[in-house]
Chain A
Amino acid sequence: MRAKLTDIVFVIVFVVLVIGVMNMPTDATTAAPAYNDIINHYLEQGADETNAVNIVAAILTDYRGFDTLGETIVLFTSVVAVSSVLRSARHDWKFDDDE
Chain B
Amino acid sequence: MTMNDIIVKTITRIVLPFAQLYGVFVILNGHISPGGGFAGGAILGTTLILYTLVFGRKKGSKKFSHRASEIAESGGIMLFILIGLIGLMLGGSFLTNLDAGFPAGELGSILSGGMIPLLMIAIGIKVTSTMINLFNLLIDEGVHS
Q: Does A86 contact B (CB under 8 A)?
A: yes
Q: Contacts A69-B84, A95-B58; is A76 near B95 (CB within 8 Å)?
A: no
How far is B115's CA from A2's CA once the two chains are assembled, in angstroms? 56
Give residues of chain A (20-56) contacting chain B, Cβ–Cβ below 8 Å: 47, 49-54, 56
Q: Inside 8 A of A52's CB, which chain B residues have their CB?
A: 31-32, 112-114, 116
Q: Smallest Cβ distance from B114 to chain A, in angstroms?
A: 6
How far is B30's CA from A92's CA once the two chains are assembled, in angstroms? 34
How far is B78's CA from A69's CA once the two chains are assembled, in angstroms? 10
Interface contact A72-B76, CB-CB below 8 Å: yes
Q: Contacts A57-B120, A68-B119; is A75 near B126 (CB within 8 Å)?
A: yes
Question: Number of contacting residues on B, CB 8 A?
Answer: 52
Interface contact A75-B130, CB-CB below 8 Å: yes
Central interface residue in B1, B97, B112, by most chain A CB within 10 Å:
B97
Give residues of chain A (71-88) contacting chain B, Cβ–Cβ below 8 Å: 72-73, 75-76, 78-79, 82-83, 86-88
Interface contact A92-B123, CB-CB below 8 Å: no
Q: Inside 8 A of B107's CB, which chain A residues have their CB?
A: 47, 51, 53
Q: Inside 8 A of B12's CB, which chain A residues have their CB?
A: none
Interface contact B77-A72, CB-CB below 8 Å: yes
Interface contact B31-A72, CB-CB below 8 Å: no
Q: Inside 8 A of B122's CB, which chain A residues have their CB?
A: 72
Q: Inside 8 A of B133's CB, which chain A residues have their CB?
A: 79, 83
How far is B66's CA from A83's CA once the two chains are assembled, in angstroms? 12
Q: Inside 8 A of B145's CB, which chain A residues have their CB?
A: 88
Q: List 30 A-B contacts (CB under 8 A).
A: A51-B98, A54-B31, A54-B32, A54-B33, A57-B31, A57-B120, A58-B31, A61-B123, A62-B97, A62-B115, A62-B116, A65-B95, A68-B80, A69-B84, A72-B76, A72-B126, A75-B127, A75-B130, A79-B133, A79-B137, A82-B137, A87-B140, A88-B144, A88-B145, A91-B136, A95-B58, A99-B1, A99-B2, A99-B57, A99-B143
